Amino acid sequence: MPSQTKQQPISLKMTLKPEIKLTKRNYYSHHSDLVYMSATWFKRFEACEAAAWDLLQNPVEETSTALLVGNFVHSNYESQQAHAAFIKEHESEINTRNGTLRAPFEQAETMIDRLNKFDEFMYFYNSPECKKEAIVTGQLFGVNWKAKLDSLNVEKGYFCDLKTTKDMHQTFYNPETHRYDRPWFDEYNYGLQMAAYKKLLQLKYHKPFKCYVFAVDKTKSPAVEAIEFDMKRFEKGLGEIELYQPRLMDVLSEKEAPIRCEHCDFCKSTYEPFGFKSVDDLVNEKYT
């Protein structure tokens, strides 16, 4: 029998010179995910290594309504052509059989209308000088990273990120304070994402960049906000990448087994109880 060539570990591919050049066409491809780390995948592994590893090995297209609503709003500001193409691609999810918008996308139109009246957003994010969906690559602590920026102004040294969220003032349980005082920005670890983007830009263009986050929520009367990304979260995000990335590379090289979180859908669907727990154990697990 002919000998089979052993595939390179994913971690090695991510540290060698990238074998593909990223374009809008292949940015979200499975192949590119095996060559470049991204904030999305990094956060997935931080949340649950077992679930992220399974998804990386068995990729599936994500089609949640929340994701589609976010992309609907984003594509509107990318270009008319991009927005039309997105609607055509997801026609059945966006429109009813009668051709009218489904409720979540009626809400998305309301969010767009609100953003269109938001002067600061239109000035910074929608400036003619800005490049939309700009791809940037580079190495962070020896690993290839990729990022796609919603709106980039290289000349003026800033980039913008547009976030759609359920409620601008929604807070989550904070394990440090044991209170529900954690803002949505930190709950979804957008600080790490913005830190990676900012560092990649500074490495590529050899100049400082400011990060402006524009947010719109999905309430009946959408709230909007303009947020300047702070240095404290930038340093925390970079520190988090530097600290966890070696462990992540060991998982991707299969030197270390991925750890289960025991809370996510993947872990719940593959969990096999062994022995018995007390009722108090169940309550305590909720906050770990």
Q: What is the CATH number of the domain that holds 243?
A: 3.90.320.10
In-domain check, residue 275: no
pLDDT of the chain along its 288 residues, tens only? 444 445 788 999 999 999 899 998 999 999 999 999 999 999 999 999 999 999 999 998 877 899 999 999 999 999 999 999 999 999 999 999 888 999 999 999 999 999 999 999 999 999 999 999 999 999 999 999 999 999 999 999 999 999 999 999 999 999 889 999 999 999 999 999 999 999 999 999 999 999 999 999 999 999 999 999 999 999 999 999 999 999 999 999 999 999 999 889 999 999 988 888 888 877 777 655
Let me know if residue 110 belongs to a domain.
no
Length of the chain: 288
- Asked if residue 214 is part of any domain, the answer here is yes
Residue whose structure tokens are 């402006």 = 212
C-alpha 100: how far from its chain's center?
30
CA–CA gap between residue 71 and residue 43 (Å, rounded): 19
Q: Find the domain containing 53 and state its range.
A: 28-62+118-267
Q: Let me know if residue 13 belongs to a domain.
A: no
Q: Full-prediction pTM beyond 0.85?
A: yes
Q: Decide if 113 is inside a domain.
A: no
Alpha carbon distance 248, 242 (integer Å): 10
**Residue at 51 is within a domain:** yes
* Residue 7 falls inside a structural domain: no
- For 251-284, b where at least 16 C-beta lie within 10 A, e where not — what string? bbeeeeebebbeeeebeeeeeeeeeeeeeeeeee
115 neighbors 121 (Cβ within 8 angstroms)? yes
Does any domain span residue 153?
Answer: yes
- Overall number of domains in the chain: 1
Both tokens of residue 112? 């767009």
